[in-house]
Chain A
Amino acid sequence: MNQQLVRLTKKRLFMPILCLCIVLLINVIKTPDFFKITVREGVFYGYIIDVINRASELVILAVGMTLCIASSAGTDISVGAVMAVAAAVCCSILAGGQVSVTAYQNPYIIAVLAALGVAVLCGAFNGFLVANLKIQPMVATLILFTAGRGIAQLITNGQITYVRVSSYKLLGANIPGVPLPTSVFVAILVIIIAQTILRKTSLGMYIEAVGINAKASRLVGLKSTAIIFLTYVICGLCAGISGIIMSSRIYSADANNIGLLMELDAILAVALGGNNLAGGRFSMTGSIIGAYTIQALTTTLYAMGVSADQIPVYKALVVIVIVSLQSEVVKAKFNDIKKKHESRKTLVATVEVQ
């Protein structure tokens, strides 16, 4: 029994799942009807549905962020700003330059493709700085981190562009007849595509190899620069997708608020998922569980009456605790204690035998 428990705690996904369970448990105690799901007009409602729904953007961001961290040991902190840019591009093309429209001025597909294209460009810019110019990822992405919202403002002319078309809202709401929110399916689709690419091709292994040692992997013939570049492009694309979902939720492009503070959440999701922020081996599933955990935490905080402005304090504290527990120094301390404990055990055993 004891050994099984030890084996269980050694599993990679043990900590992420434990965190999620703790958050959910707190909720069950605080709000008894947390798991209650009601059906209204053929659509599911409830806390759990809300968490899964709202977490969609974060899950998609976490997919991209995991790859960035794995390949370059650095985080892309521009994702929130890139979301705002993508939303601005999408809405302003649909609105055709007007502030508020009730019918598409341009085809939907063109707007989405353009938005994703711009997001990929942003990712490529970050990737170029990180991979080709060897600039620390966080500093390189700092450029878009602040300039991004300015660019988004520029695209929308400093106004909030509204697209008041019912089909635009579908992505952030429910498609008639489908009981689950659309964004959940988009998130699942992104996960499936990402997992397929990582599992079926050697890309996942290459990313890990580059993350563990970029120089060594270059010597064995991997194009480490290209791989790091690619991960930032993917991260940009993911940010673009979540930007479009978020703008669909509020059927507008609000350059100041779309994706605000999402970068910390995305990093936190990866860290919560048991991934090492120093790069190398990664677990996509862990990051995804981490993303849901954070959304559950956010929803819990909201339910407890904490205002949106105050939530960062709690999240920052969680980050500090998780990152501290992950740090080599603390790990070494734990190992020391464990070793001491074990050696005492063997000592006791030998004494008993004698």
Chain B
Amino acid sequence: MKLKKHFDSKTVLLWITILLFFSMYIIGMVIYHDRGFANLQNFLNLFISNAGLIVISAGMTVVMITGGIDISVGSFVAMACMILADLMENKGLDASTAIFFVLIVGIVFGFVQGWFISYLKIQPFIMTLAGMFFARGMTAIISQDMINIQNKTFLAIASHKIYLPFGGYLNKHGKLILPYIYPTVIVALIALVIIFWMLRYTKLGRNIYAIGGNEQSAMLMGLDIKKTKLIAYTISGLCSGIGGTLFCLNTCSGFVEQAKGFEMDAIASAVIGGTLLTGGVGNVFGTLFGVLINGTIQSFITFQGTLSSWWVRISIAALLAFFIILQSIFAFITERRKGL
């Protein structure tokens, strides 16, 4: 009975995800053991290169739990990078002001989209599709050319290594090499924990789950659906702002084509992590595993060396399709059980 409780259709997807991640990672360790796949640093690189994606996917999870979706995040990341680059390089602002500005823009962007979706009842997909094109176009309006960031403070934050006190190894010269992370990873994990706490232990979080579970009964219970949805999209906007900044710390440049298909990665991470597309079910730690799977596929392709980068997109899309189909099968089974 207890086992059954742990393996109902809602959590079983999460278990599949965790299992998939570990088995993929172990397979990687076996195939590429001579190229350092098993190093702790390689594992940490998953977090380093995907810090922005972790925060954005967490925001996406919040929106998806309400039963909505936000596909503007990828374009917003490009816009955030461009704004940062433009403010620091062309307008001469200092790094902290620029980052603050981007976060405000993120909140406003999310708020406006959320307002249209919740108060005018426009389908989330259409609204955020428009938002996606708007942000991508705005990026081009700010600057058509690529801007490289040379701001000293920004670069200093970007390249500040934080060494871990354990897990090091001796190199050829007998020098101890410690594994490291960047500050972006810490920011990403803090954001993840805050969202986890918000979803799990606050009234707002419970409202978000309630709306996604059944909007009508949530309304009958007296929940303010419009306000909750508005807050959810604002959170997603803020997460896009933070995520965009972290992404920018990784790339240190802004250009129009940046972060293409990022929204797909974020949605795929949430879905693979067990968030139901119909809303009501989801967990940001599942999403974290979704991001890690995404990163593992990417590192597979880099380690292989002969495969092209579009294989990443194709394999993520295939995984997404697999999980979506799995979800609908589980939904079908639950419905049937209820019918009996």
Q: Quick check: B120 and A319 within 8 Å, CB to CB?
A: no
**Quick check: A327 and B122 within 8 Å, CB to CB?**
yes
List which A137-165 residues lie within 8 A (CB) of chain B. 138-140, 142-147, 149-151, 153-154, 158
Expressed in whole angstroms, the Cα–Cα distance for A143 and B317 within the complex equals 5
Interchain CB contact under 8 A, B317 and A312: no
A328–B120 Cα distance when bound, in Å, is 7
B311 pairs with A139, CB closer than 8 A? no
What is the CA–CA distance of A134 and B327 in the complex, to the nearest angstrom?
11
CB-contact partner of B261 in A75, A146, A151, under 8 A: A146
User: In this assembly, does A309 line the interface, its C-beta being within 8 Å of a C-beta of chain B?
Assistant: yes
B321 within 8 A of A: yes
Q: Is the CB of A324 within 8 A of B120?
A: yes
Chain B residues near A328 (CB-CB < 8 A): 121
Judge whether B121 and A135 touch: CB under 8 Å: no
Is the C-beta of A307 less than 8 angstroms from some C-beta in chain B?
yes
| Closest Cβ–Cβ distance, residue A124 to chain B (whole Å) | 14
Chain A residues, CB < 8 A from B116: 320, 324
Task: Write out the residue numbers on chain B whose beta carbons fall within 8 Å of the beta carbon of A329.
Answer: 119-121
Measured CA separation A138–B318 after assembly (Å): 16
How far does the alpha carbon of A329 sit from the alpha carbon of B122 in the complex, in Å? 9
Contact in complex: B140, A310 (CB < 8 Å):
yes
Question: In the assembled complex, which residues on chain A have CB atoms less than 8 Å from the CB atom of B277?
Answer: 135-136, 139
Does A198 have its Cβ within 8 Å of any Cβ on chain B?
Answer: no
| B136 in contact (CB, < 8 A) | yes
Task: Give min CB distance, A78 to chain B, whole Å.
Answer: 10
Contact A319 B317 (CB under 8 A): no
Q: Which residues of chain B come closer than 8 Å to A158, judged between CB atoms? A: 308, 310
A309 touches B324 (CB 8 A): no
Q: A153-B308, A307-B144, A309-B256 are in contact. Are A147 and B317 (CB under 8 A)?
A: yes
- Chain A contacts with B in 94-148, Cβ cutoff 8 A: 129, 133-136, 138-140, 142-147
Whole-angstrom distance between the Cβ of B108 and the nearest chain A Cβ = 15
B287 CB → nearest A CB, Å: 16
Which residues of B in the span 274-317 have a Cβ within 8 Å of any Cβ on A?
277-278, 308, 310-311, 313-314, 316-317
Q: Say yes or no for A313: interface residue by CB 8 A criterion.
A: yes
Question: Would you give the 0/1 interface string for A313-352, flagging 1 where the beta carbon is closer than 8 Å to chain B?
Answer: 1111101100110011110000000000000000000000
Most A CB within 10 A of own CB, among B69, B277, B278, B310:
B310
Closest Cβ neighbor of A147 among chain B residues: B317
Identify which of residues 166-180 in chain B touch chain A, using a CB-to-CB cut-off of 8 Å: none
Q: Are B126 and A319 in contact (CB under 8 A)?
A: yes
CB contacts (< 8 Å) of B316 on chain A: these are 146-147
- Once the chains are docked, how many angstroms separate the CA of A206 from the CA of B125? 26
In the bound complex, do residue B313 and residue A147 qualify as a contact, i.e. CB atoms below 8 Å apart?
Answer: yes
Which applies to chain B's interface (DSSP): helix, strand, loop or mixed? helix
Chain A interface SS verdict (over half): helix
From the candidates B119, B122, B136, name the one contacting A323 in the complex (CB within 8 A). Answer: B122
Q: B256 — which chain A residues lie within 8 A by C-beta?
A: 309
B-chain residues with CB within 8 Å of residue A258 when the two chains form the complex: none
- Which B residues lie within 8 Å of A139 (CB)? 69, 267, 277, 324
Chain A contact residue count (CB 8 A cutoff) = 47
Query: B325 touching A133 by the CB < 8 A rule?
Result: yes
A138–B71 alpha-carbon span in the complex (Å):
10
Q: Which residue in chain A gives the minimum CB-CB distance to B136?
A: A312
| A307 and B140 within 8 A (CB) | yes
Most chain A CB inside 10 Å of its own CB: which residue of B130, B278, B308, B314: B130
Per-residue 0/1 for B31-71: is the Cβ within 8 Å of any A Cβ (1 yes, 0 no)? 00000000000000000000000000000000000000101
> Are the CB atoms of A143 and B320 closer together than 8 Å?
yes
Given contacts A129-B324, A146-B261, A158-B310, contact A316 B120 (CB under 8 A): no
Cβ contacts under 8 Å, A129 to chain B = 321, 324-325
Given A147-B313, A313-B133, A316-B130, check contact A133 B267 (CB 8 Å): no
Residues of A with C-beta under 8 A to B126 = 75, 267, 277, 319, 323
B134 sits at the interface (CB 8 A): yes
**B324–A135 touching, CB < 8 Å:** yes
- Is A21 in contact with chain B by the CB < 8 A criterion? no
Q: Tell me which residues across on chain A come within 8 A of B137, comparing CB atoms.
A: 309-316
Query: Are A146 and B133 also in contact (CB < 8 A) when A309-B140, A313-B141 are?
Result: no
Bound-state CA distance A153–B314 (Å) is 11
Q: Is B148's CB within 8 Å of the partner chain A? A: no
> Contact: B267 with A323, CB < 8 Å?
no
Query: Contacts of B308 on A, CB cut-off 8 Å?
Result: 153, 158
With A135-B277, A150-B311, A158-B310 as contacts: A310 and B317 at CB distance below 8 Å? no
On chain B, the residues within 8 Å of A135 by CB distance are 277, 324, 328
Residues of B within 8 A of A62 (CB): none
B264 at the A interface (CB under 8 A): yes
Chain B contacts of A154 at CB under 8 A? 310, 314
A154 to B315 alpha-carbon distance, docked (Å): 13
Please state if B120 and A153 are interface contacts (CB–CB under 8 Å). Answer: no
Contacting residues, chain A, for B261 (C-beta < 8 A): 146
| A261 interface residue (CB < 8 Å to B) | yes
**Interfacial chain A residues near B132, Cβ < 8 Å:** 316
Quick one: given A134-B328, A158-B310, are A146 and B125 in contact (CB under 8 Å)? no
Q: Check B123 for interface membership: any CB of A closer than 8 A.
A: yes
Which B residues are CB-close (under 8 A) to A145? 264
A228 partner residues in chain B, CB cutoff 8 A: none
Q: Which residues of B contact A311 (CB under 8 A)?
A: 137
Is residue A207 contacting chain B, with contact meaning CB distance below 8 A?
A: no
Q: Which residue of A lies closest to B125 (CB)?
A: A138
Docked complex Cα distance between A327 and B126 (Å) = 12
Bound state CA distance, A135 and B141, in angstroms? 36
Smallest CB-CB A-B distances: 5 pairs: A313-B137, A309-B140, A147-B317, A312-B137, A150-B310
Given contacts A133-B325, A136-B125, A309-B137, 4 further A-B contacts (CB under 8 A): A147-B314, A150-B310, A150-B317, A330-B120
**Chain B residues near A (Cβ < 8 Å):** 69, 71, 116, 119-123, 125-127, 129-134, 136-141, 144, 256, 261, 264, 267, 277-278, 308, 310-311, 313-314, 316-318, 320-321, 324-325, 328, 331
11 A-B Cβ contacts within 8 A?
Answer: A133-B324, A142-B320, A143-B320, A145-B264, A146-B316, A277-B123, A309-B140, A313-B133, A316-B131, A319-B126, A323-B127
